Amino acid sequence: MNKPILFFLVAGYFFCLGHAFAQTESGILTIESYAPTTKAFLALDQSDEAIRDNDILNEELIDLVHVFTVDSILKKKHQRHRALGFMTGIIKLFGYSWRSINHRKEKFVGTSKRNYVPGHPPKFKEYDVNFDLIPHLKKYIDLGFVAYEKQKEIGRNPKKKIDYSKAPFVYPDENANLNKYRMHVECTPPQGDLLEGLNEKFYPCITGTSCETHPKFEDGKPTMGVYGAFISDCNHTCHPEIHPYEWIWWMNLSKNKKRTNKQWVFALMRDCSERLRGWQKGPRTGVIAIPFISKPDAEELHVHLKHLVHNDVFYGEKLEAIEESQHGETFDFTEKIFEVNDGKANKINIRFTANKTLDSEGLKFWFSKINFDEKLKRISGYLHIGVAVDELYSGEISMN
């Protein structure tokens, strides 16, 4: 590998997807291109077993997802532990803080080397659900290395145990042990009933559960994507983190998943420790775009959304600030048919179903970048979910 030029992985949602919309008010979706299906989208045909056994393939598929939040720029350089009285001054004096690396929230994709489930009930406000993600894709290796160079530059090494001449402070070659280049990601999820619901329906976040046994994983080292503040944790040795992650997503490749369809699990959440509120003001507002592809010669693509755990209130006036959402539709249905039609002989239906209605202007969906492969008779594109919510919205999308 060549040493990277310093660059920022901006929340590439707008750049990658542009401002193309497929929706029309009549329920007809416009075909926007007629190109051969890309290799990346065709990889979605791989079996769950093949994806599960290949970290690079898994990460490439996870990387097809695009995410962002409206407050993607971090206007404050530091965040600190919240303490009483003079203790905050002492914390500041000794330089203990979380420090922004590039003033942005970033997307990161990797495969978990370690994950941590906090005790319950928590003894402190810090009860993060943590993952150590190992990147295998070059752009995330590069992004992580920018953070390790920043750690070396800061030079916080109180016990003199860090050797800055060795990995992860030297750029990895093709023989490097990538486990040394981990990205630590963490978030304090909502408490109360939301936490109980997350633990049951989304991911393990209470002692006694684990990724190995949770039905959305059944894998002790799952591959996932996260999006959040890209920072140095200088409460310790200034190691790199995505903290807090706000978007988190993965493919459910559970061995016991009965259906053969592709299943995406995702959530937008606010860190509820209140330690980092300078980086998370107001309702969490953002969009996730999930790839889809129909079967060869199929006349219909079935998309099913299961609303999992979420707040009851959504904010339409916040989501409206995202221009794309103004073309979207609310979830005022449990079944809806969209016709993908170019006015010729090419026609495929998308049957969109949901487990319940959630009719709010603060939770919408729309389609974009619909491509029709005339040779394979397949459609592909993106399904967007736009959300504006106080603490949490989580969902599961199945496609077949």
Give mean pLDDT in consecutive 10-residue pieces for the chain, a chain of 400 residues. Answer: 42 47 69 94 96 97 98 89 57 76 97 84 71 98 98 88 95 96 96 94 92 93 97 93 97 79 96 86 94 93 97 97 94 95 77 97 97 92 98 97
Q: How many CB atoms lie within 10 A of CB 337?
A: 11
Residue count of the chain: 400
Residue 6 domain-assigned (yes or no) = no
Q: What is the pLDDT of residue 273?
A: 87
- Predicted TM-score of the model (pTM): 0.91
Range of the structural domain that residue 78 is part of: 13-399
CB 274 within 8 A of CB 124: no
Residue 177 domain-assigned (yes or no) = yes
CB 109 within 8 A of CB 62: yes
Residue 69 domain-assigned (yes or no) = yes
Q: How many CB atoms lie within 10 A of CB 26?
A: 8
215's CB contacts (< 8 A; 6+ apart) are 254, 256
Max CA distance (Å), the chain: 73
d(CA 328, CA 396): 19
Residue 52 corresponds to which amino acid? Answer: R
d(CA 192, CA 175): 46
Q: What is the pLDDT of residue 232?
A: 96
Report the chain's C-alpha Rg in angstroms: 21
* Torsion 203-206-211-217 (CA) sign: negative
d(CA 225, CA 178): 17
The residue to which tokens 């496609």 are assigned = 399
CB 148 within 8 A of CB 233: no
Look at the chain and report how many structural domains it folds into.
1
Q: What is the pLDDT of residue 121?
A: 61
CB 181 within 8 A of CB 168: yes
Strands 347-354 and 300-310: parallel
Q: How many CB atoms lie within 10 A of CB 279?
A: 22
Residue 296 domain-assigned (yes or no) = yes
d(CA 22, CA 369): 7
Q: How many CB atoms lie within 10 A of CB 6?
A: 9
Q: 203-223 burial, b if ≥16 CB within 10 A, otherwise e?
A: bbbbeeeebeebebbbbebbb
The encoded tokens of residue 33 equal 């291109």
Of 358, 355, 284, nearest to 322 by C-alpha is: 284
256's CB contacts (< 8 A; 6+ apart) are 215, 218
Work out the burial of residue 7: count CB atoms within 10 Å of its CB; fewer than 13 is exposed, 13-18 middle, 19 or more buried.
exposed
The encoded tokens of residue 237 equal 């040795």
Residue 7 domain-assigned (yes or no) = no
Residue 306 domain-assigned (yes or no) = yes
Residue 287 domain-assigned (yes or no) = yes
CB 372 within 8 A of CB 34: yes
CB 125 within 8 A of CB 146: no
Residue 8 domain-assigned (yes or no) = no
